Amino acid sequence: MEKLIITAAICGAEVTKEQNPAVPYTVDEMVREAVSAAEAGAAILHIHVRHDDGTPTQDRERFREVMDAIRTVLPDIIMIPSTGGAVGMTPEERLQATELYPEMATLDCGTCNFGDEIFENSMPTMRAFGKRMLENHIKPEYECFEMGHVDTIVKMAAKGEVPGAPMQFNFVLGVPGCTPFTPGNLAWLVNAIPAGSTWTGTGVGKAAFPMAEAAISMGGHVRVGFEDNIYLEKGVKARSNGELVAKVVQLAKEHGREIASPAEARRILGLA
């Protein structure tokens, strides 16, 4: 198996300090959590940004400020800014990070229930996001919450509406209202992607580490972090993103998989 790429989703758009005081909002806090994750073994940082009061934003200059600050201390790390933003943001708001020409960015692959809200990703929205990523030479990480999302984005890639092979998928399972995590559900999704693709498993909430172990054993990659789960184990809140990453590293050792550096992750993902 390839070495394991670990992504740390260090803050997300929804989780708050009231839920876990270690959740970062400010630039300095984001750098702190980025360093903790990288030192523990993360090769990739999935980036959302907040205002200092914790309000989620997709402001291009806030992305620039945060990513430049992280790059100063972690010059080799891969950063994947979110184009998902927060529920209710317009496509134009969500696309702002792509104006910074990152090497990768997320592209959400369909509309779905998101708890009590609806996360809207219409076909015109996905075409617009695909066009921007083609123009700006950005490799998408295709975020899929349902099987229909996989089918849709693979057909769009075949038509040239979004970047094609090699494709990188992120299967996000366990969101209330979307596909739950089970090893069978994960295998179903993995078996539907084109040959030569890479994939990452993200388990939300209590699915975080069962997903991690399944992805490790199946040859995929893993995302963890405060965006998806704030607990190290039942009733024990993680004190940093680094603690969550370190637990994945331990699981990888138990399964005999080595951890990829940022340079190795770029090779595996076709960025280098």
pLDDT tens, residue order, the chain (272 aa): 899 999 999 999 999 999 999 999 999 999 999 999 999 999 999 999 999 999 999 999 999 999 999 999 999 999 999 999 988 899 999 999 999 999 999 999 999 998 889 999 999 999 999 999 999 999 999 999 999 999 999 999 999 999 999 999 999 999 999 999 999 999 999 999 999 999 999 999 999 999 999 999 999 999 999 999 999 999 999 999 999 999 999 999 999 999 999 999 999 999 98
Q: How far apart are CA 211 and CA 204, in angstroms?
A: 9
Domain ranges of the chain: 6-269
Say which residues have a Cβ less than 8 Å from residue 71's Cβ, sequence separation at least 6. Answer: 77, 79
- Tokens 């104006």 label which residue? 99
The fold for domain 6-269 equals: TIM Barrel (3.20.20)
Interior angle at CA 22, CA 17 and CA 27, nearest 5:
90
Q: What is the largest CA-CA distance in the chain?
A: 47
Q: How far apart are CA 25 and CA 28, in angstroms?
A: 8
Q: Identify the pLDDT of residue 98.
A: 98
- Which one, of 247, 245, 221, 222, lies nearest residue 233 by Cα? 247
Q: Is the dihedral of CA 188, 193, 197, 203 positive or negative?
A: negative
- Which one, of 209, 197, 244, lies nearest residue 9 by Cα? 244
CB 245 within 8 A of CB 40: yes
Q: Identify the pLDDT of residue 87.
A: 87
DSSP-assigned beta bridge partners for residue 169: 142, 199
- Which one, of 184, 15, 213, lies nearest residue 115 by Cα? 15
- 9 phi, psi to nearest 5 deg: -95, 95
Would the pTM count as exceeding 0.95? yes
Q: Is the dihedral of CA 140, 188, 11, 93 positive or negative?
A: positive
Q: How far apart are CA 216 and CA 208, in angstroms?
A: 12
| Bridge-based pairing state of the strands 6-9 and 168-173 | unpaired
Q: Identify the pLDDT of residue 17.
A: 98
